[in-house]
Amino acid sequence: MKLSQNGFRDTRNLTARDLPLIQNRIALIEQLAPNAAGLVNAAAFKEAYKDLLNMRERVTRPTRPAP
């Protein structure tokens, strides 16, 4: 399961409806990552965390099309 992909309708077109799931997964990673079992798991947490932060940014600060 990939935390930044599974459970979302469309990761390319995120909406405010996706924000609670994004926030919950960020909180989960913040809780569990410090105790990751090994370097591979730590790297996976780090990558998912980065992706989820970017997803949250896209939802909370959408880019506007150029005029």
pLDDT band, residue 4 (cuts 50/70/90): confident
pLDDT band, residue 15 (cuts 50/70/90): very high
Q: Global pTM?
A: 0.86
Residue 65: inside a domain: no
The Cα angle at residue 26 between residues 8 and 14, in degrees rounded to 5: 30
pLDDT tens for residues 21-60? 999 999 999 999 999 999 999 999 999 999 999 999 999 9
Residue 34: inside a domain: yes
Residue 35: inside a domain: yes
The pLDDT assigned to 67 comes to 66
- Would you put residue 7 in left (φ > 0), alpha (ψ -120 to 50) or beta? left
Residue 45: inside a domain: yes
pLDDT tens for residues 58-67? 999 877 766 6
Residue 1: inside a domain: no
Residue 48: inside a domain: yes
Residue 66: inside a domain: no
Containing structural domain, residue 25: 16-60
How many structural domains is the chain composed of?
Answer: 1
